[in-house]
Structure 1
């Protein structure tokens, strides 16, 4: 893997979670530490078409920066907040994130599993 990565590049995209309405999302792994796969820290880009993307609570922490697009974001059933370019969101372990993507969306996320 190159030491220089462009988060706007769309090569090597893998399918991500589909929205409730069937819209598509894609992900691209940027970096993974040398730990065991289930405990490795990862950095990835996530790209999504407009739609609602609910996630179950997870055994990991995620911090992401919105690079483009706008969405409504709710953490653990909180009141949705509008996020957009430059927004930084921290999703604690065990909290269910919910995104209603309003415009084509791209984020850079760091995921840290917590066994």
Structure 2
């Protein structure tokens, strides 16, 4: 078994992700790892430019750590909470999230597709 090292700051292998409200672009994602059957768990890096990201409820659990940037975060239209470097957020299956990104944001997320 070999050791694979990923640098979260590297801007390689990113694919377009959710657009910011009112734009066609805004965020990108990079797959770091997924389980062998590609049906259960993934680790990704997501980066977003300032803007409003409204992500509908999904059929998955996600836990992420902010490694750079700042945003206001609300789940299912709750009161927004400021998140910044070091914040850890859990989004349960079926919960919508809104991120109002004020400073370029980068997060590392673990996604469980079949919770």
What's the TM-score bracket when you normalise by the shorter of the two chains? Answer: over 0.9
Runs of 4 or more, structure 1, over 4 Å off, are: none
Match for residue 26 of structure 2?
24
Show structure 2 runs of 5+ residues with no match: none
Task: Report the Cα distance in structure 2 between the residues aligned to 1:71 and 1:50, rounded to whole angstroms.
Answer: 8
Structure 1 residues 1-54: Cα deviation after superposition (integer angstroms, max 9, x where no partner): x7111111101111111110315111100001112x4x2210000000000001
Cα root mean square deviation, aligned:
1.5
Task: Report the Cα distance in structure 2 between the residues aligned to 1:8 and 1:85, rounded to whole angstroms.
Answer: 14
Number of aligned residues: 113
Match for residue 93 of structure 2?
93
Structure 1 residues 49-105: Cα deviation after superposition (integer angstroms, max 9, x where no partner): 000001111110000000000000001111100000000000000000110001111
Question: Structure 2-normalised TM-score?
Answer: 0.92
Task: Report the Cα distance in structure 1 between the residues aligned to 2:75 and 2:48, rounded to whole angstroms.
Answer: 18
Trace 1:1-115 onto structure 2 (pairs within 5 A): 3-22=4-23, 23-35=25-37, 37=38, 39-114=39-114
Question: Structure 1-normalised TM-score?
Answer: 0.92
Task: Report the Cα distance in structure 1 between the residues aligned to 2:93 and 2:13, rounded to whole angstroms.
Answer: 28
Greater percentage in strand: 2
